[in-house]
Amino acid sequence: MTGYRFGPHLISESQIFFKSKLSIGIVNLKPIAPSTLEDVHVLVLPKRNIPRLADLDKEETVDLMLSAQKIGNVVEKHYGCSSLTMTIQDGPQAGQTVPHVHMHIIPRKAGDWANNDDIYQELDKKKLGVDNEERKPRTEQEMSAEASELRPYFSLLD
- Higher confidence at residue 136 or residue 141? 141
Where are any strands of DSSP class E within 47-94? Answer: 83-88
What residues pair up with 84 in beta bridges, in sequence order? Answer: 107
User: In the predicted model, is pLDDT for residue 129 greater than 60?
Assistant: no
User: Tell me, what's the pLDDT at 57?
Assistant: 98
- pLDDT confidence of residue 5: 93
Please, which pLDDT band fits residue 156 given cuts at 50, 70 and 90?
low
- The answer to the question of whether 101 is labelled as a binding residue is no
Rounded alpha-carbon distances, angstroms, from residue 110 to 41, 84, 155: 16, 11, 31
Residue 28 marked ligand-binding: yes
Dump pLDDT digits (tens) for 76-127: 999 888 899 999 999 999 989 899 999 999 888 887 766 766 666 666 654 4
Beta strands in the chain (DSSP E): 3-6, 9-12, 16-19, 23-27, 42-46, 83-88, 103-108
> What pLDDT is stored for residue 114 in this prediction?
67
Residue 121: the pLDDT is 65
Beta-bridge partners for 105: 42, 86
By DSSP bridging, strand 42-46 and strand 83-88 are unpaired
**Residues carrying an active site annotation:** 102
Return the pLDDT at 127.
Answer: 44
Amino acid identity at 26: I
Question: Is this model's pTM higher than 0.85 or not?
Answer: no
Segment 11-66, tens digit of pLDDT: 999 999 999 999 999 998 777 654 445 567 899 999 999 999 999 999 999 999 99
Distance CA 91, CA 95 (A): 7
Residue 134: predicted pLDDT: 55
User: Is residue 96 annotated as involved in ligand binding?
Assistant: yes
Q: Strand runs (DSSP E) across 23-110, as ranges?
A: 23-27, 42-46, 83-88, 103-108
- Closest C-alpha to 111, from 35, 31, 28: 35
What pLDDT was estimated at residue 53?
97
CA distance 44 to 71: 8
Please tell me the distance from the alpha carbon of residue 76 to that of residue 61, in angstroms, as a whole number.
Answer: 22
The pLDDT, as a whole number, for residue 33 is 54
The structural domains of the chain, ordered by start, are 4-113+129-153 (3.30.428.10)
**Is 78 annotated for ligand binding?**
no
